[in-house]
Amino acid sequence: MSKLTPKTIDKIKEMRKQFPKEIAVSVRRVEDGGYCAEVTTYSCFTESDTFSGLIEMVNDAVRTYLGIPVKYLSYMPEYLPPISLAQHLNMFPPIARMVEVDFNITKNEKVKC
């Protein structure tokens, strides 16, 4: 990667200023098992089959809305949801809880071939 010029650094700083500290996002599961998100801060929508993919798509939607050129994408901030959202959607990590389970184990009989 080439060294950034002072002019390029100033341009990156100006683009980064467009990003608010927080964005409002409404997430819901859809019937096919995927996820749909509305970035209400900018009135744009995106979707993904996975929760981690949805996070990437939300960031892409914001960057697209703000008109960030491809060559500057790696210098832009990323939004990450709180872990409580993943827990609420029954994703990773599970909410800590102690559970005891009783069960019987049945001996397998050998099957003759």
Q: Are 51 and 89 in contact (CB under 8 A)?
A: yes
pLDDT attached to residue 100: 52
More confident residue, 102 or 23: 23
Distance between CA atoms of residues 95 and 19, nearest Å: 31
Distance between CA atoms of residues 46 and 59, nearest Å: 10
What are the boundaries of each domain within the chain?
A: 23-87
pLDDT attached to residue 111: 43
pLDDT attached to residue 83: 78
CATH topology of domain 23-87: Double Stranded RNA Binding Domain (3.30.160)
β-partners of residue 46 are: 37
Q: Mean pLDDT in the chain?
A: 82
Per-residue model confidence as pLDDT tens digits over 12-62: 999 999 999 999 998 888 888 888 999 999 999 999 998 889 999 999 999
DSSP 8-state assignment for residue 12: H
